Amino acid sequence: MAGIYISWPFCAQKCTYCNFASGVQPKELEDQYIPALQAEYAAHRWQWTPETLYLGGGTPSALEPERIPQLLSGLPGRPWREATLEAAPGSLNPEKLAAWVAGGINRASLGVQSFNKAELARTGRKHDAETVRRDVSLLRDFGIGNINLDLISGLPGQTEQSWRVSVEAVIALEVPHVSVYMLEVDDDSRLGAEIILGGKRYGAFDVPGDDEIAGFYEYAVEELARHGIARYEISNFARPGMESLHNLKYWKREPYVGFGSDAHSFDGTMRWQNVETARKYVDKWRKSEPIRAETSRPNPVEEKFFVGLRLAEGVEPDNQDWERFGPAFERFLAGGVMERDGSRLRLTARGMMISNEIFEEFLVA
CA distances to 35, 56, 111, 287 from 27, in Å: 14, 18, 23, 21
**CA 47, 102, 135, 59 torsion-angle sign:** positive
The whole-number pLDDT of residue 329 equals 96
Looking at the domain assignment, is residue 259 inside a domain?
A: no
The reply to whether 81 and 190 lie within a common domain is: yes
Looking at the domain assignment, is residue 256 inside a domain?
A: no
> What is the model's pTM?
0.94
The reply to whether 38 and 132 lie within a common domain is: yes
State the pLDDT confidence band at 206, using cuts at 50, 70 and 90: confident
| Residue where one domain finishes, among candidates 214, 236, 251 | 251
Please provide the average confidence, as pLDDT, over all residues in the chain: 93
Looking at the domain assignment, is residue 135 inside a domain?
A: yes
Looking at the domain assignment, is residue 342 inside a domain?
A: yes
pLDDT at 364 over 80: no
The reply to whether 306 and 207 lie within a common domain is: no
| Residue where one domain finishes, among candidates 251, 286, 318 | 251
150-172 average pLDDT score: 97
The reply to whether 330 and 235 lie within a common domain is: no
Top-confidence residue, 21 or 191: 191
Question: Cα-flanking dihedrals φ and ψ of residue 92, to 5°?
Answer: -95, 150
State the pLDDT confidence band at 22, using cuts at 50, 70 and 90: low
Q: Which domain holds residue 62?
A: 3-251
Q: Of 242, 249, 227, nearest to 311 (Cα)?
A: 249
CATH code assigned at 130:
3.30.750.200
186-201 average pLDDT score: 80
The reply to whether 203 and 317 lie within a common domain is: no
Looking at the domain assignment, is residue 271 inside a domain?
A: no
The reply to whether 221 and 337 lie within a common domain is: no
Top-confidence residue, 15 or 285: 285
The whole-number pLDDT of residue 12 equals 77
Look at 188-192, 307-311, 313-317, 333-337 and tell me which has the smallest mean pLDDT.
Answer: 188-192
Report the amino acid identity of residue 244: S
99-127 average pLDDT score: 93
Separation between Cα atoms, residue 179 and residue 265, nearest integer Å: 22
> Total domain count for the chain?
2
**CA 174, 178, 183, 188 torsion-angle sign:** negative
State the pLDDT confidence band at 192, using cuts at 50, 70 and 90: confident
The reply to whether 182 and 71 lie within a common domain is: yes
Looking at the domain assignment, is residue 281 inside a domain?
A: no
Half-sphere exposure of 89 (CA within 13 A, CB side): 27
The reply to whether 204 and 108 lie within a common domain is: yes
pLDDT at 125 over 70: yes
Top-confidence residue, 115 or 11: 115
pLDDT at 147 over 70: yes
* SS3 of 301-325: HHHHHHHHCCECCCECCCHHHHHHH
Looking at the domain assignment, is residue 269 inside a domain?
A: no
The reply to whether 39 and 185 lie within a common domain is: yes
| Residue where one domain finishes, among candidates 188, 218, 251 | 251
The reply to whether 135 and 48 lie within a common domain is: yes
Looking at the domain assignment, is residue 262 inside a domain?
A: no
For 44-72, the pLDDT digits (tens) are 999 999 999 999 988 999 999 999 988 99
235-253 average pLDDT score: 97
Residue 340: which H helix or E strand, with range?
strand 338-341
The reply to whether 305 and 236 lie within a common domain is: no
The reply to whether 112 and 180 lie within a common domain is: yes
